[in-house]
Amino acid sequence: MYKPMLVGVMLAFPTLAIAADNTVNTAVGEVFVDPNGRTLYTFSKDTTGKSVCNGGCAAKWPPLSVNPATNTLYGSQPGFSIINRDDGSEQWAYRGAPLYRWFKDIKAGDIEGAGIAGVWPLARADDVTVRLYNDDKRRYLVDSDNFTLYTFDKDEKGISNCYGDCAAYWPPALVNTQNMASLKLSGDFGVTKRKDGNVQWTYKGMPLYRWIKDTAPGQTTGDGVKDIWHMVPL
């Protein structure tokens, strides 16, 4: 189903949904699921086509096994492939990244595993690169390198007012524009074009930024700066 995005300063890219039987809508958009509708994740410590989640890790993060039910869901889907695990079993991967469930997710739409330790991103069914980070106290938006993202009170929906020195201290979270024509979005994520021609990620219409003084993943030192910069908790 196509859902038009805001026009004007917002770029008009459609939201594209993949077949409903292998995805589910969550609080942060469309993600891939197992045959029971439970959310799938990838593991940042894996390498392309290789799972390093075994033993106790696999007990908490069960691999998406190859069987008749998963063959029906993913056998003919582009981007999906089968890898061999260390124990000889077979596991599904998406774009080379092995897929897993989180043992505490009970029902469709649960995303309790999202961002744990910064190494368990959701297996998204779109092109959104914004992630969640879970530091055991709270969960919030981060970029693909796990650096915290912020909103700016002086912005308007779909419009960034942070340029010059502001943008030097608060670099905008930019979109890779190589595949803009086919960019797939879902949930409350969107994009907006900046005055310099770059394209910036938005959440609920608000442009997203990093903070130059955050020097390590998961740091949130920009939260509350001048009472106008805020991290985005979820």
Tokens matching residue 180: 């803009």
Q: Is residue 83 a contact partner of residue 51, using CB atoms and an 8 Å limit?
A: yes
What's the pTM value of the predicted model, to 2 decimals?
A: 0.88
Q: Which residue(s) pair with 97 in the sheet?
A: 94
Instruction: Show the CA angle centred on residue 165, arms to residues 140 and 226, nearest 5°.
Output: 50
pLDDT in tens, the chain (234 residues): 333 333 333 444 333 333 348 999 999 999 999 999 999 999 999 999 999 999 999 999 999 999 999 999 999 999 999 999 999 999 999 999 999 999 999 999 999 999 999 999 999 999 999 999 999 999 999 999 999 999 999 999 999 999 999 999 999 999 988 878 889 999 999 999 999 999 999 999 999 999 999 999 999 999 999 999 999 999
Q: What is the largest CA-CA distance in the chain?
A: 56
Specify the amino acid at residue 170: W
Contacts of 104-107 with C-beta under 8 Å, sequence gap 24+, read 105/38, 105/39, 106/38, 107/37, 107/38
